[in-house]
Amino acid sequence: MRKLIVVVGALLLLGGIAGSAVQGVIDIWADDTRSPIWEELRQEVEAQFLVAVKVTDWGKPEPLDENFKSAAPSGEGPDILVTIHDRIGTLLASGLLEPLEISDELRAQFNPGALAAFSSAGKLYAIPYAQEAIVVYYNKDLVPTPPATFEELLAAGKALMDEGKAQYAISWSVNQFFFSFWTLSTNGGFVFENTPEGLNGCSMGLDSEGAIQGGQFLRSLVEQGLMPAEGIGYGEALSLFKEGKVPFHINGPWEAAGLRDAGMNFGAFHIPSINGAQPLPFLGVQGFSVSAFSDDKTTAKAILTDYFATLDVQKTFFLKNPRIPVFLPLLDDPDVKADEVVAVVGSAPGTPMPNIPEMGNVWGAMDNAFNLIASGQESADSALHNAVATIKAANNCP
Amino acid sequence: MWVWTLVKWLLLGLLDALGILALVTLGFDSQWTLLGILGFGLILTNVVLVLPHAYPLRYILPGLIFFAAFVVYPMLYSVYLSLTNLSTGHLLSKAQVIDQLQGQLLRWEDSQTLTYWAYGDAQGEAILLLLKGSDEGWWLATLADRSLQAIDPADARLSDADGDGVFDQVDGLGRLQGGALAQQMGTFENTIFPYGEDVIRVSSLREFRTYKRQFHYDPQSDQVTQHYRFDEPTQRWMAVEPAKVLRADEGQGFFVAEDGVVLTPGWQVWVGWSNYLDTFRNPRIVAPFLGVFSWTVAFALLSVLLTFGLGLLLAMLLNDEGMRFRRYYRALLILPWAIPSFISIMVWRGLLNPLGPASSLLDSLFGISIPWFNDPFWAKAGIILLNLWLGFPYMMTITLGALQGISGELYEAAYVDGASRWKQFRTITFPLLLVAVGPLLVGSFAYNFNNFNVIFLFTGGGPPIPGAQTPAGSSDILISYTYQVAFNGGWGQQYGFAAAITIGIFLLVGVISAVNFKFTGALEEVSQD
């Protein structure tokens, strides 16, 4: 009898059970620098678009990408997510991003290079909002005026080393392709060949004559003792600069806030010319995309094109997490113009990172190549040829 | 007492109610696998708790459930993955790929917009859409069968009660607005309606738009026809004449054209044993894989032998009655084991860094600089050294315990018989020690075989292998190599191949464990005489 009561009670609980409502909630995935900003803007978005908004903070972009790739096809993924233009190649190859349509007026308000970075085969896959290029930070206490050429830079560094004021002339995260690519591009090296059909994933210029010259230049810096003998990591290179042991340091605008907090008297300038040739570092663009498996694509797209791509919201993002804007009206804003690092980075020459899927296989092999070149274990010639062969094999090139 | 019986039935009822709630929710979400597993678990729980015959099962039931969920299921899923080609570019199912390709619509120069209004039933579900084109043509779209019919604005089915120019009711269904419409957009934003030669689809919150289809899929012939392509130099879309035909390649998981061009995205397909065969058949993988495998075995063996050797030495010293301050030495020597290995590994990484204290010390004392992280040999040496530091306290402790378990009478008898210290060690101490410690040594081997932390945190896989075309480093062991294959975005992620290596590691460690059981069985006989 008692058991019957209990079972009936359980069945009664079934009444009024509704399936979970997944539609009508916009899920935004971002990293730790952008989630707090979306969290602050959440109520405005909810009021304007009449949907619930949920912001998920993933910390770093890597776990976000990882989880997106597995969650999205099964319908558990976000509606809006932060994307970095060179990573969208693998996302596009797996069909995970939704193309966005924007009006011509809106298109005109963005830096065309930034839009191109997020476009593939004629379709735009994200609303860009920040651009990054690496520049040379210099310690104003050690070097009063920035040098005009790379030769002057090395001479100034060497002079400081001879006086005992510095341990090395220059430091940067050598073993990362992103930070060392400029050595190869100075004399004409490039990643993929630009053809009428777009970037050719099987025609590479990382082992061209100019690229090999760049690799040899890099090795010569190590051999002359102007750079640490063993390729050091990102953290170590930055610490050397922060501790005042090295007058010049190549890094991106994201470190400026940390350097200011450390009380350093620093400035920035573009990577100067080497033998008259202008080095071209990578340009990176960041933006927000819509997932192809989103349940509310139209609303998500509307949030990006009608709300995110407006001056007020772009300025909010800039003030809370300063990055180089690509929204042209924002570049005219006096607050933005006053930031020195923004001015230098915003005008830095460079070449955008390729966003085709084949790019995914380039990073690992080229990181290794730079490691081998800097440590002297392999000559620039063979290291770069091997790396290109590896990449082509990984991309199933003939 | 009847109170406890009542409580038991109430709790069981509550568990059943929650279980049924979860089952219904899963059913609405169409998560059939989870529903099946949960349903089975619930029935099993009820059977075990209700039937008096099944009383003994109560004690192992929770363990069995967790074992099934966290050991058996991941294992079966890994086996399943290893037989597919799940990797970057092959994450979707074929149906999803076809949906995506058919959803790729192009906006043409003559593209027009249509304003739309949605009409739904009492529950707020959208049923009909009324569209008005820029050419003043009116259409009625039915979501259920994706049909579009022309309709006359004067038709009786359309009613405008308040005369504001917007129809409030169509076929008795009320207009959806504001939040209600926003909630429903997801149900029809992917629907594509045929519109003459073109198609229409939602393009923003307020409009539909006419598009051209880039791809067309024919289920009969399992082929995709491409009608348009993007021309980079002119930055325009151009018609492909004649339309390019791509057939589905089930071996690779792509749509392939006759000239070899593939369409991305691809889909996940069964590849059978090819992931396993690749480890010794694919020339790009064989050499680095064998290197990684031999280093894994060497690393595990050396770790066990060296830590055991040092641990045994220290245990014998600490076991000696004549040694003063034994307790303090023992406390100090346990410290490496007490500090979380995660932290110690990072500290060691900083110590051996070329800019760190160890290198400056070596440089100033002996004038040598050891490339700990850039030379394959020294990277491996560094790892062995680090693992020795981390592992010897454990070996010392267990050996100490085992030594104290050996009866002193045996030593006295041997002394009387005139045996030297070394002979005593060789014939009494060591064999009896192995009986006690043997299984633990084999366990330590299995542990170090999969010791991911030490490799990943210290060298990250180590200096790269020149010319390797797979993400294996010089100091990578099998498990850290698997991690790079599966998750290293820079090389493209291959979950299927990584799953195959994981199953391989599982079989290896399983064989070692089987050998372990035989080994301890053999040793047992030694102590019985």
Taking the Cβ of residue B59 and every Cβ of chain A, the question of whether any pair is shorter than 8 Å is answered with no
Strands of A18-59, DSSP E? 25-30, 52-57
Residues 43-82 in A contacting B (C-alpha not used; CB under 8 Å): 49-51, 62, 65-66, 69-70, 73
**Bridge pairing between strands A25-30 and A80-84:** parallel
Helix axes A362-375, A380-394, angle to 10 degrees: 170
Residues B70, B121, single domain; the answer is no
Residues A186, A314, single domain; the answer is no
Contact A362 B490 (CB under 8 A): yes
Rounded to 10 degrees, the C-alpha dihedral B393/B397/B402/B403 comes to: 80
Q: How far is CA A262 from CA A34, A137, B316, in A?
A: 23, 14, 52
CA B342/CA B349 separation, integer angstroms = 11
Taking the Cβ of residue B411 and every Cβ of chain A, the question of whether any pair is shorter than 8 Å is answered with no
Contacts with B189 (C-beta within 8 Å, 6 or more apart), sequence order:
A296, A297, A298, B201, B202
Of A60, A54, A71, A68, nearest to A31 by C-alpha is A60
Give the pLDDT confidence score for residue A184 in this predicted structure: 93
Residues 250-309 in B contacting A (C-alpha not used; CB under 8 Å): 264-265, 284
Residue A297 lies in a domain: yes
Residue B51 lies in a domain: yes
Instruction: Provide the CA A16 distance to its chain's centre, in angstroms.
Output: 48
CB pairs under 8 A between A and B: 196
Residue A15 lies in a domain: no
* CATH code of B342's domain: 1.10.3720.10
Contact A196 B233 (CB under 8 A): yes
Residues B78, B101, single domain; the answer is no
Strands of chain A, DSSP E? 25-30, 52-57, 80-84, 119-120, 123-124, 127-133, 135-139, 170-171, 190-195, 198-205, 248-251, 266-269, 282-290, 324-325, 351-352
Taking the Cβ of residue B123 and every Cβ of chain A, the question of whether any pair is shorter than 8 Å is answered with no
Give the pLDDT confidence score for residue B291 in this predicted structure: 92
What SS3 class is residue B269?
coil
Q: Which residues of A53-66 are buried (b: 16+ CB within 10 A; e: fewer)?
A: bebebbeebeebbe
Contact A232 B96 (CB under 8 A): no
pLDDT, tens digit only, all 398 positions of chain A: 455 544 444 444 443 333 223 457 899 999 888 999 999 999 999 999 888 999 999 988 888 888 898 888 888 889 999 998 878 888 888 889 999 988 889 999 988 878 888 988 888 999 998 888 889 999 999 999 999 999 999 999 999 999 998 989 999 999 889 999 999 999 888 999 887 667 888 889 998 999 999 999 999 998 998 888 675 788 888 988 999 999 999 998 878 878 888 888 998 888 999 988 889 888 888 999 999 998 889 999 999 999 999 999 999 988 887 778 888 888 888 887 777 777 777 777 788 888 887 787 788 788 888 988 888 878 899 999 988 988 887 777 77
- Please name the helix (run of DSSP H) or strand (run of DSSP E) that holds residue B138, with its range, or none: strand B138-142
Residues B239, B358, single domain; the answer is no
Query: Vertex B353, ends B347 and B358: CA angle to 5°?
Result: 80
CA A90/CA A363 separation, integer angstroms = 13
Give the pLDDT confidence score for residue A53 in this predicted structure: 92
Taking the Cβ of residue A389 and every Cβ of chain B, the question of whether any pair is shorter than 8 Å is answered with yes
Give the pLDDT confidence score for residue A45 in this predicted structure: 92
Of A208, A214, A213, A174, nearest to A191 by C-alpha is A208
Residues 260-289 in A contacting B (C-alpha not used; CB under 8 Å): none
* CATH code of B57's domain: 1.20.58.370
**Bridge pairing between strands A25-30 and A52-57:** parallel
Residues B454, B341, single domain; the answer is yes
Taking the Cβ of residue A95 and every Cβ of chain B, the question of whether any pair is shorter than 8 Å is answered with yes
Q: Which residue of A has its CA nearest to B186?
A: A296
Q: How far is CA A384 from CA A191, A370, B88, B386, B469, in A?
A: 12, 8, 25, 33, 13
CA A350/CA A85 separation, integer angstroms = 15
What SS3 class is residue A173?
coil
Residues A324, A290, single domain; the answer is yes
Adjacent-strand bridge partners of B223: B218, B247
**Residues of chain A contacting B12 with CB distance shorter than 8 Å:** 6
Q: Which residue of A has its CA nearest to B30?
A: A19
CA A387/CA A393 separation, integer angstroms = 10
Contacts with A279 (C-beta within 8 Å, 6 or more apart), sequence order:
A150, A182, A183, A185, A186, A271, A272, A273
Residue B74 lies in a domain: yes
Residues A278, A204, single domain; the answer is yes
Give the pLDDT confidence score for residue A3 in this predicted structure: 54
Residues B482, B352, single domain; the answer is yes
Residues B507, B358, single domain; the answer is yes
Residues 166-205 in B contacting A (C-alpha not used; CB under 8 Å): 178-179, 182-187, 189-190, 202-205
CA A60/CA B356 separation, integer angstroms = 28
Contact A297 B189 (CB under 8 A): yes
CA B33/CA B39 separation, integer angstroms = 10
CA A395/CA A358 separation, integer angstroms = 6
Q: Which residue of A has its CA nearest to B187?
A: A295
CA B128/CA B142 separation, integer angstroms = 5
Residue keyed to tokens 């604005």: B153
Residues A212, A272, single domain; the answer is yes
Token pair in block for residue A34:
């952008």
CA A267/CA A7 separation, integer angstroms = 74
Sort A4 into a burial class: Cβ within 10 Å, 0-12 / 13-18 / 19+: exposed
H helix runs in B405-428, sequence order: 408-416, 421-424
Residues B78, B104, single domain; the answer is no
Query: Vertex A159, ends A157 and A162: CA angle to 5°?
Result: 110
Last residue of a domain, one of B61, B82, B103: B82
Residue A123 lies in a domain: yes
User: Looking at this protein, which amino acid is placed at residue A264?
Assistant: M
Residues A278, A143, single domain; the answer is yes
Residue A78 lies in a domain: yes
Please state the domain count of chain B: 3
Count the alpha carbons within 13 Å of B171 in the hemisphere toward its beta carbon: 14
- Which of B264, B369, B372 has the highest number of chain A CBs within 10 A, making it the mutation to test binding with A? B264
**Residues of chain A contacting B264 with CB distance shorter than 8 Å:** 92-95, 357
Residue B170 lies in a domain: yes
Residues B396, B480, single domain; the answer is yes
User: How close B491 comes to chain A (CA, Å)?
Assistant: 4
Please state the domain count of chain A: 2
Where in the sequence is the domain holding B400, given as residue range(s)?
280-527
Sort A174 into a burial class: Cβ within 10 Å, 0-12 / 13-18 / 19+: buried
Query: Vertex A90, ends A86 and A93: CA angle to 5°?
Result: 130
User: Looking at this protein, which amino acid is placed at residue A247?
Assistant: P
Residues B65, B134, single domain; the answer is no
User: Looking at this protein, which amino acid is placed at residue B411?
Assistant: Y
Prediction ipTM score = 0.72
Residue A14 lies in a domain: no
Last residue of a domain, one of B60, B82, B104: B82
Residue A18 lies in a domain: no
Residues A297, A247, single domain; the answer is no
Contacts with B180 (C-beta within 8 Å, 6 or more apart), sequence order:
B120, B124
Residue B272 lies in a domain: no
- Which of B374, B378, B459, B484 has the highest number of chain A CBs within 10 A, making it the mutation to test binding with A? B374
Taking the Cβ of residue A351 and every Cβ of chain B, the question of whether any pair is shorter than 8 Å is answered with no
pTM of the model: 0.78
Give the pLDDT confidence score for residue A385 in this predicted structure: 92
Token pair in block for residue B39:
């349903």
Residues B240, B322, single domain; the answer is no
**Residues of chain A contacting B232 with CB distance shorter than 8 Å:** 195-198
Q: How far is CA B169 from CA B128, B129, B153, in A?
A: 10, 11, 12
In this structure, what are the phi and psi dihedrals at residue B364, rounded to the nearest 5 degrees?
A: -75, -30
Quote the percentage of chain A above a pLDDT of 70: 92
Give the pLDDT confidence score for residue B364 in this predicted structure: 86
What SS3 class is residue A13?
helix
pLDDT, tens digit only, all 529 positions of chain B: 788 889 988 998 999 999 999 999 888 877 787 888 888 888 888 888 888 888 888 888 888 888 888 889 899 999 999 999 998 888 888 999 998 899 889 888 888 889 998 888 877 788 888 888 888 888 888 888 888 888 888 888 888 888 787 888 888 888 888 778 888 888 888 888 888 888 999 988 888 999 999 999 999 999 999 998 888 777 788 888 888 899 998 888 889 988 888 888 889 999 989 899 988 888 888 888 999 999 999 999 999 999 999 999 999 888 888 888 888 988 999 989 999 999 999 999 888 887 778 888 888 888 887 888 878 899 999 999 999 999 999 999 999 999 988 888 888 888 888 888 888 888 888 888 888 888 888 889 989 999 999 999 998 887 877 767 788 888 999 999 999 888 876 667 889 999 999 999 999 888 887 877 776 665 565 555 5
Residues A123, A194, single domain; the answer is no
Taking the Cβ of residue B513 and every Cβ of chain A, the question of whether any pair is shorter than 8 Å is answered with no
Taking the Cβ of residue A390 and every Cβ of chain B, the question of whether any pair is shorter than 8 Å is answered with yes
Residue A95 lies in a domain: yes
**Residues of chain A contacting B91 with CB distance shorter than 8 Å:** 69-70, 73, 94-96
Q: How far is CA B262 from CA A99, A146, A396, B476, in A?
A: 20, 50, 12, 34
Taking the Cβ of residue B489 and every Cβ of chain A, the question of whether any pair is shorter than 8 Å is answered with yes
* CATH code of A225's domain: 3.40.190.10
Give the pLDDT confidence score for residue A390 in this predicted structure: 81
Give the pLDDT confidence score for residue B527 in this predicted structure: 56
Residues B240, B160, single domain; the answer is yes
Residues B291, B250, single domain; the answer is no
What SS3 class is residue A241?
helix
Give the pLDDT confidence score for residue B525 in this predicted structure: 58
Give the pLDDT confidence score for residue B350 in this predicted structure: 85
Residues A244, A384, single domain; the answer is yes
Residue A2 lies in a domain: no
Last residue of a domain, one of B203, B236, B263: B263
Contact B20 A65 (CB under 8 A): no
Where in the sequence is the domain holding A75, given as residue range(s)?
23-132+284-351
Taking the Cβ of residue A238 and every Cβ of chain B, the question of whether any pair is shorter than 8 Å is answered with no
Taking the Cβ of residue A100 and every Cβ of chain B, the question of whether any pair is shorter than 8 Å is answered with no
**Residues of chain A contacting B230 with CB distance shorter than 8 Å:** 121-123
DSSP state at residue B465: P
Sort A116 into a burial class: Cβ within 10 Å, 0-12 / 13-18 / 19+: middle
Residues A321, A172, single domain; the answer is no
